[in-house]
Amino acid sequence: MSDTIDLTGDGGVLKTIVRHAKPDAIAPSESLPLVDVHYEGILADTGEVFDTTREDNTVFTFEVGKGSVIKAWDVALRTMKVGEVAKITCMPEYAYGSAGSPPEVPPDAILIFEVELVTCRPRRGASLSSVSDERARLEELKKQREVAAATKEEEKKRREEAKAAAAARIQAKLEAKKGQGKGKGKGK
């Protein structure tokens, strides 16, 4: 195990890495806010497991930073990478506080979680690209459409010019034929 890191600066959330992620592993971000985790929650005072996903091998999914989990998890998961396993010690003010979470978690309980970050992914319907990448893609599409519209307009103008030139040639031929017909000795 590695050294313990104080993630909040006040000792409220402590993290100890149990297993490091691979160096190129991804982390939760604005474009990948949904996380799947395996975890085991332990009451620090008794060592009793009060909640786990390990028994039935399920994952728990939530969106980081939305307040849908205890504060300690929002803080700690932002610092983790996929594949990492960490021990997260949570003081009551970053967990369930003075209310607890009856009947499993008593009031003012210090909690220890062993958390494995399994995956990070975008919100449903979102792509993997970041917001700035998406803006750049949309700007490029806009430019491509403008170029296509300009090209189409130029082709239309050329076609109209070609039609006008063809009409002028036909008119000139008709005029020439009219002029030829008058001088051929047709009597009146």
Active-site option among 39, 74, 88, 94: 39
Active-site option among 70, 74, 88, 94: 70
Active-site option among 42, 74, 88, 96: 96
Question: Is there a catalytic annotation at residue 96?
Answer: yes
Question: Is there a catalytic annotation at residue 60?
Answer: no
Question: Is there a catalytic annotation at residue 5?
Answer: no
Nearest CA-CA partner of 73 in 51, 46, 57, 58: 51
Question: Is there a catalytic annotation at residue 6?
Answer: no
Active-site option among 36, 50, 108, 110: 50
CA pair distance 101, 111, nearest whole angstrom: 12
Q: What is the CA 25 to chain-centroid distance, rounded? A: 16
CA pair distance 35, 104, nearest whole angstrom: 24
The Cα-based distances of 109 to 43, 76, 89, 106 in angstroms read: 7, 18, 11, 6
Question: Is there a catalytic annotation at residue 17?
Answer: no
Nearest CA-CA partner of 51 in 20, 82, 95, 93: 95
Phi–psi pair at 135, nearest 5 degrees: -60, -45
Active-site option among 17, 74, 88, 113: 113
Active-site option among 26, 36, 51, 60: 51
CA pair distance 33, 126, nearest whole angstrom: 11
> Locate tokens 């980081």: which residue?
64
Positions marked catalytic: 39, 50-51, 70, 96, 113
